[in-house]
Amino acid sequence: MIVAPPQHDAQKSGTLSKFRLFSPILAGATLKERLIGCLGALVGICLTGFVSALFMGQDPNLPLIVAPIGASAVLLFAVPASPLAQPWSIVGGNVISAFVGVTVTTLVRDPAIAIGLAVSLAILVMSLTRSLHPPGGAAALTAVIGG
């Protein structure tokens, strides 16, 4: 004989299913693994800032780091097995895309066209070099809007 669950349980499970959108993407990751990822991002970003300051100086007009590197840190330390978080993808994708963005900035004067062209060409070049890395699109965009 099949018994329907009480109304209270049905309402409760309906409410919980609404919040599944907010469940962690890293299913199966333990608290320890998440904390190690956070610590890795802390050390990696701070080290990058220190090295940048060492080579670039402490000029307040020069950024120590650009925002896409933060996104790269999320991929590298939170989902290290992702194809988008592999060394060639991270280094190649960011460097190639920044180069594409700078090149587009020097050749295209209209900012509205330059931003679209920089991101689309960065995607093309990353795809052709097998270095697809989503923050690379942001690196290309930053090169155009960052001056």
Q: pLDDT, tens digit, for every residue of 50-80?
A: 998 898 888 877 777 889 999 999 999 999 9
Q: Are 133 and 90 in contact (CB under 8 A)?
A: yes
Q: Are 95 and 52 in contact (CB under 8 A)?
A: no
- pTM for the model stands at 0.75
d(CA 76, CA 83): 10
- What's the chain's length in residues? 147
Q: pLDDT by residue (tens digit) across 88-129?
A: 999 999 999 999 999 999 999 999 999 999 999 999 999 999
- pLDDT band of residue 10 (cuts 50, 70, 90) is very low
d(CA 76, CA 4): 46
Which pLDDT score is estimated for 106?
Answer: 96
Q: Token pair for residue 93?
A: 């994708």
For the chain, domain boundaries: 30-145
